């Protein structure tokens, strides 16, 4: 199979591309290589992918529709997985244009390109942040997502809406993933785990937001990739779940949470980091940051019914794997 992956040099895109390449598929990666975080890390991921003969890469922005169309049409993919986005809740306060450009205009450009050369399946990466101010827990795919509390969430919700519209009008089989706090080796430096490990290693204090009274439904990267690969072969209509299916009534379109449904308290997460590093963190308690939510908690019922499994890597094990990678990458 031929997979076209946007954001291939990113954290999730790198792991997904590597899995598919190892499985013998052909992958065309597309990534803007922006400086939102250390470009050296992106280049290091990319270098590993370029060791495969069945991998090709285009360095360009999603906003450049001509470059996007050229890369897409020359490759003629069977499956498109759209991971590229401007991520991060807090950075939107500093650079809102980046979110509109990448997450909305970029997604629109991809949809325009895709409808001209129809793939077998389009998969779009959204986020648990779209659940926003919802108070009902756990979050289900059929819940309303009308109350975003960050620009990041608003732009990803817009992406979901555009994907549904194109699925309806042009009959593009489309699956939307909602990711929940993905972590693991080769992760992003702006994420809490990376920041905690780096600070503790330098004997610097860590900032604990929400005074530690927060919880996240953490998802280990290998579990996430297992789910994406499994779902890539199940287009809407191939399989209908027994209950709570999010299939659209008017389009070949489905939304799926990818998470284990087991939130971890922030202080428990920090304890796992301290244990993996063999050090106690110096903690500075802070209030909630604009755009943050107190808790994320996924209902994984649909995912389990679709693929027969949900993310299950224990937090202590996943954090330990990250710490080992961090030490190998930065300290040896």
Give the active site residues: 152
Report the Cα 303 to chain-centroid distance in Å: 16
Place of tokens 């992956």: 5
Instruction: Please tell me the distance from the alpha carbon of residue 195 to that of residue 189, in angstroms, as a whole number.
Output: 6
Instruction: Please tell me the distance from the alpha carbon of residue 147 to that of residue 23, in angstroms, as a whole number.
Output: 40
Question: And the tokens for 221?
Answer: 């990267």
Burial code (b: 16+ CB inside 10 Å, e: under 16) for 168-192 equals beeebbbbbbbbbbbbbbbbbeebb
Contact of 244 with 136, CB cutoff 8 Å: no
Sign of CA dihedral 70, 74, 78, 84: negative
Contact of 237 with 173, CB cutoff 8 Å: yes
Instruction: Please tell me the distance from the alpha carbon of residue 170 to that of residue 148, in angstroms, as a whole number.
Output: 28
Question: And the tokens for 166?
Answer: 């194109």
Helix boundaries (H) for 65-178 = 65-75, 96-99, 107-116, 151-170
Give the N- to C-terminal CA distance of the chain in Å, as an integer.
37
* Order of strands, sheet of 26-31, starting from the edge strand that comes earlier in the sequence: 55-59, 26-31, 2-6, 79-82, 121-127, 174-179, 253-258
Instruction: Please tell me the distance from the alpha carbon of residue 312 to that of residue 110, in angstroms, as a whole number.
Output: 33
Question: And the tokens for 35?
Answer: 């400086």
Cα–Cα distance list, 78 to 74, 174, 176 (Å): 12, 13, 17
Instruction: Please tell me the distance from the alpha carbon of residue 293 to that of residue 90, in angstroms, as a whole number.
Output: 12
Contacting residues for 165 by C-beta, under 8 A, at least 6 apart: none
């Amino acid at each position: 199979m031929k997979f076209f992956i946007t954001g291939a040099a990113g954290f999730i895109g790198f792991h997904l591309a590597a899995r598919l390449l190892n499985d013998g598929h052909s992958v065309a990666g597309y990534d803007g290589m922006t400086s939102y975080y250390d470009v050296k890390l992106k280049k290091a991921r990319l270098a590993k992918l370029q060791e495969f003969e069945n991998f090709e890469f285009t360095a360009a922005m999603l906003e450049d529709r001509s470059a996007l169309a050229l890369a897409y049409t020359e490759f003629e993919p069977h499956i498109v997985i759209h991971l590229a986005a401007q991520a991060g809740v807090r950075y939107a306060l500093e650079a809102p244009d980046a979110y509109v450009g990448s997450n909305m205009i970029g997604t629109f450009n991809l949809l325009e390109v895709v409808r001209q050369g129809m793939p077998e399946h389009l998969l779009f990466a959204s986020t648990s942040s779209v659940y926003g101010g919802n108070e009902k827990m756990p979050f289900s795919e059929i819940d309303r997502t009308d109350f975003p509390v960050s620009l990041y969430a608003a732009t990803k919700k817009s992406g979901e809406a555009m994907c549904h519209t194109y699925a309806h009008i042009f009959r593009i089989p489309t699956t939307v993933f909602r990711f929940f706090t993905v972590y693991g080796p080769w992760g992003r430096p702006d994420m809490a785990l990376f920041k905690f490990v780096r600070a503790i290693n330098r004997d610097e204090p860590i900032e604990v937001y929400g005074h530690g009274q927060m919880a996240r439904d953490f998802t280990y990267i290998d579990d996430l990739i297992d789910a994406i690969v499994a779902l890539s072969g199940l287009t809407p209509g191939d399989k209908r779940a027994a209950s709570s299916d999010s299939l659209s009534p008017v389009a070949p379109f489905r939304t799926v949470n990818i998470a284990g449904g087991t939130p971890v308290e922030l202080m428990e997460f920090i304890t796992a980091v301290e244990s993996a590093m063999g050090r106690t963190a110096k903690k500075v308690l802070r209030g909630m940051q604009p755009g943050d939510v107190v808790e994320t908690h996924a209902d994984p019922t649909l995912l389990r019914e679709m693929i027969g499994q949900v993310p299950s890597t224990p937090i202590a094990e996943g954090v330990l794997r990250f710490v080992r990678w961090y030490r190998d990458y930065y300290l040896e």
